[in-house]
Chains A and B, each alone.
Chain A
Amino acid sequence: MPEPEITGASVVLVGSFNPAIFQPQWFASQNLLSKSEAESATVKVIVPAVCEFETERFQIQVVQERFMAMSKVGANFEPLRDLVVGTFFILEHTPVTAMGINHHLHFQMKTDSDWHRIGDRLAPKDGWNGILHGRPGMLSLTITTEAADSRPKTTVRVEPSVKLKSGVYFDINEHYPFEKDDKLKKIMTLLQERWKEADLHAKNIANHIIEWAGK
């Protein structure tokens, strides 16, 4: 099974947030980040409508309708989950209507032809050859499936990697909608429960496509 060269994960929450709260110092005061990690954070912007900063391990970005926390490249993902769970156990009254667990995987193909084969299999060019000049290429493909049998709605985006030459990028989103009355603790418990499975699910999807395309 091929291993991704570059990996990352992010959690996105949709709801109603006060971006100005989510400053590095707040995370340190709640013992969710160490003092030194918070003090060395690079703040990109903190205004009422947007907050964005990054630390050595995470990037946090909050607007009024969405919260996003992302792990840095190659980092161990578990602290990301801990950070989000800890944050929203403290802010337990934040209205949240949906949660996304996202995995970002970059695979290095051995050859250019292996790389082209993936794009050609996912998006056959027969219909485009002749009507488009040059060599048509797949820029992005998104496939989605609805939730069923206790599996979440899953959306997969495949693109040429911009980080690896002859690389393929997979972005796998598991989407969980919630009712207005659902308590945030229930949502965070789901995040805790699904974390490992979501990681495996993402890798299985990517590996399946790479192996299928190679046949």
Chain B
Amino acid sequence: MPKISPTILLSGPGNSTSLESQSLENKPLASPAADVYPSNIPASNEAVVGQSSVLLTSDQTSNVSSHVQNSFLDLKDGRFFISNVPPQRFTQAAIAKGSVLKTLQVWEGTITGLDEQNFTATLRDLTKPSNPDEQAEFARIEVSEDDQELLTLGSTFYWVVGTERTPGGQKRNISTLQFRRLPPWTDNALRRANERAALTRSLFRSAE
């Protein structure tokens, strides 16, 4: 039975929309690597660290690039980009309990093709939006069981590349696929809203 210890962050003035760190007791850090909260609150020995992460379930010895037939991740000048040259190895193992993830690069992918083994996607670089879109291929087995049902044409996901720092101080490269979970009508409504906003902006600009 997990220990229940509320960590009330929401004290402060009734209309405040920021977090109030003063409301927590000032406990010393248990271990920096075990602290999974980004706010400036000392880690508690009772704080529950993150459990194993999404989403890649393939063999730990395999490599993302082995499933990406035409596209690979490569690292240059501290940034990841997609190339045709087989790159360094990425671990697909789940993030260990107590580890801290540092996201280095994120792409938003939209599925453009599917077959029994793989799916292809158009990738938009969210870390550096000025980069052109890329195409990549992934293996279905890289997607978690829960997210398999989300593998449809047009569905979107985030491809996150980062480093994991374990409580013991070990660092390794991590690559994960996180599928977007938005009700379809939400996505449509937001897209329409964004289009209306863009139209309004352009009308204002042309009137100036």
A-side residues, CB < 8 A to B, are: 5-10, 12-14, 30-37, 40, 42-45, 50, 52, 54-57, 59, 61, 63, 65-66, 68, 70-76, 78-79, 82-83, 85-86, 89-90, 97-100, 102, 104, 106, 155, 157, 159, 161-164, 169, 171, 173, 175-177, 185, 188-189, 192-193, 196
B204 CB, min distance to chain A CBs, angstroms: 11
Docked-complex contact B17 and A173, CB < 8 angstroms: yes
Q: Which residues of A contact B66 (CB under 8 A)?
A: none
- Asked if A73 meets B37 with Cβ closer than 8 Å, knowing A162-B42, A171-B18, the reply is yes
A132 CB, min distance to chain B CBs, angstroms: 21
Q: For the complex, what is the distance from the CA of A162 to the CA of B31, rounded to whole Å?
A: 11
Docked-complex contact A13 and B146, CB < 8 angstroms: no
B151 sits at the interface (CB 8 A)? no
Question: Which of B84-92, B111-119, B182-190 lies on the face that meets chain A?
Answer: B182-190
Docked-complex contact A56 and B158, CB < 8 angstroms: no
Q: Which residues of B contact A188 (CB under 8 A)?
A: 190
- Complex: chain B residue closest to A142, CB-CB: B18
Given A56-B54, A85-B182, 20 additional A-B pairs, CB 8 A: A31-B181, A34-B181, A36-B145, A44-B6, A44-B7, A56-B53, A59-B37, A61-B9, A70-B37, A73-B35, A73-B36, A82-B182, A89-B189, A99-B17, A162-B41, A163-B40, A175-B17, A175-B18, A177-B15, A185-B189
Q: For the complex, what is the distance from the CA of A36 to the CA of B145, rounded to whole Å?
A: 9
Interface class of chain B by DSSP: loop
Q: Which residues of A contact B189 (CB under 8 A)?
A: 89, 185
B-side residues, CB < 8 A to A, are: 2, 4-10, 14-19, 21, 29, 32, 35-43, 48, 50-54, 100-103, 106, 108, 126, 144-147, 158, 160, 162, 178, 180-183, 185-186, 189-190, 193-194, 197
Docked-complex contact B4 and A43, CB < 8 angstroms: yes
The 9 closest A-B pairs by CB, nearest first: A8-B38, A100-B17, A34-B146, A173-B18, A104-B38, A74-B101, A189-B193, A169-B40, A12-B17
Q: Which residues of A contact B102 (CB under 8 A)?
A: 5-6, 74
Q: For the complex, what is the distance from the CA of A159 to the CA of B39, rounded to whole Å?
A: 11
Q: Which residues of B contact A192 (CB under 8 A)?
A: 190, 193-194
